[in-house]
Amino acid sequence: MTKQKLLIQSLRLLFVVALFTSCNNTKKQPDLDENNETHNQHKDANHEKSSHATHGYTDKVTIEELTKRFESPERDSIEQPQKIVQFLGDIKGKIILDIGAGTGYYSVRFANEGANVIAADVSDQFQDYLKQRIEKNSIKNIELRKIPYDTPLLKDGEADIVFIANTYHHIENRVEYFTKVKNGLKTNGELIVLDYFNVDFPKGITAPPMKMRVSVDQAVFELKKAGFTTFEVEVNDLPYHYIIKAK
């Protein structure tokens, strides 16, 4: 073999080795599915981060838009609030703390039944909206209470009923939080929890991601640790929500 041919073969061999090494050292790029998964995880993380403050919506959504959703006929059909009022029984003259009162969807209904309602929320915007609603409709038996994330701001033995709708799953450190709720109830006082089943909702109805929801069993387990001992659970009255009465 001539020196010229040997040199050419050597150069070819070096090129192949260099190409092979370059391919192995190239960082693997995520495929389309991986990019989608990362995007979805990021989106879920942002939802969880913002939901406790604004009922699952970002601050880009206006109060007007939220009011349309929270006071919509679609919500009426899903939650059937008249059944909630019936479930509570005679509430005339009772003090009800409505945690996560929002636009007053339940607070106003309870007030119309003669209850003395404390409409509590972490959002200044919702409190401002509800203040205007109360003044516009001359409602005398609703008191506003701005609360922080980690406490219901209840005095010991202050409330006959603590009501929390679609908000239980947003609460962090729930055992600690609902221990405070328990202490804020009068003797024989009741906690009423309304929250979501792990089922798909109809199109047009906003609900939290499945992984954020709290099952009935988990909620009862946590409330037992918070000091509640007696439970009445209703899973048949509503198509997409369960109701827990705890004492």
Domain with residue 74: its CATH number is 3.40.50.150
Domain of residue 161 covers 63-246
45 within a domain of the structure (yes/no): no
What CA dihedral angle connects 79, 165, 202 and 58, to 10 degrees?
140
212 within a domain of the structure (yes/no): yes
Bridge-based pairing of strands 185-196 and 159-165 is parallel
25 within a domain of the structure (yes/no): no
15 within a domain of the structure (yes/no): no
More confident residue, 1 or 164: 164
More confident residue, 65 or 93: 93
Determine the pLDDT at residue 19: 37
Local confidence band at 74 (pLDDT 50, 70, 90 cut-offs): confident
- Tell me the sheet residues that pair with 191: 162, 246
207 within a domain of the structure (yes/no): yes
Mean pLDDT of the region 72-79? 91
Determine the pLDDT at residue 46: 34
Determine the pLDDT at residue 13: 39
Q: What are residue 218's phi and psi, to 5 degrees?
A: -65, -40
Mean pLDDT of the chain, nearest integer:
81
202 within a domain of the structure (yes/no): yes
More confident residue, 3 or 117: 117
Kindly state the DSSP code that residue 153 receives in the 8-state scheme.
-
Determine the pLDDT at residue 56: 45
Measured between its terminal Cα atoms, the distance across the chain in Å is 97
Residue 6 has pLDDT above 80, yes or no: no
Determine the pLDDT at residue 61: 65
Residues above pLDDT 90, as percent of the chain: 65
Residues above pLDDT 70, as percent of the chain: 75
37 within a domain of the structure (yes/no): no
106 within a domain of the structure (yes/no): yes
How many domains does the chain contain in total?
Answer: 1
